[in-house]
Amino acid sequence: MPLSAEELKILQQIEQSLETDERFASAVKPSGIYAHSARKAWWAGLGAIASLVFTVFALQVHFLVAFAGFLAMLGCVLIIEQQLRAMSKVGLKDVAASLRKARTNAASSRIKFGKDF
C-alpha cells in the first residue's frame, strides 16, 4: 500500500528534523549505543574491586560481614556479565575501537606537545 502525498511530506519532515538533531545523532552512533552499558560495567567493576577489598578487611571483623561483602562482589560481577552480554560481540568491538581511538589520540597529543602537557 503506497503512502499518500501528505504522509510522504510528513515522513520527509521527520527525516529532515532527525538529520539536524545532534542529540539523536550522538545517541545512535555506534559508540553512543553502547556507552551506557560500558559505563555501567565500568562502575560495576570498580564496585567489585571495592567489595573484594572490603571482604578481605571484613574477615578480620567477622565472617558474616565478610560474606556480605562477598555477596556485594558477586552482585557486581553479575551486573558486569549482564552488561557485556547486552553489548554482545558487536558492541564490544565498537567499545574497543573507541578505546583504541582515544589511546591513539592521546599518543599523538603526547608526541605533538611533548610528554608533559
In angstroms, the CA 107 to CA 68 distance is 42
Q: What is the DSSP letter of 48?
A: H
To the nearest 10°, the Cα dihedral for 66, 50, 52, 83? 110
Q: Give 14's pLDDT tier (boundaries 50, 70, 90).
A: confident
Could you give the percent of the chain with pLDDT greater than 90? 36
- Other beta carbons within 10 angstroms of residue 35's beta carbon come to 17
Ordered by start, the domain boundaries in the chain are 1-33, 34-103
Q: Is the pLDDT of residue 87 over 90?
A: no
Please list, in sequence order, all residues whose beta carbon lies within 8 angstroms of the beta carbon of residue 40, skipping any fewer than 6 positions away: 79, 83
What is the pLDDT at residue 100? 78
What is the pLDDT at residue 110? 66
19 φ, ψ (degrees, to nearest 5)? -65, -30
Summary mean pLDDT of the chain: 82
pTM (global) more than 0.75: no
Q: Is the pLDDT of residue 114 over 70?
A: no
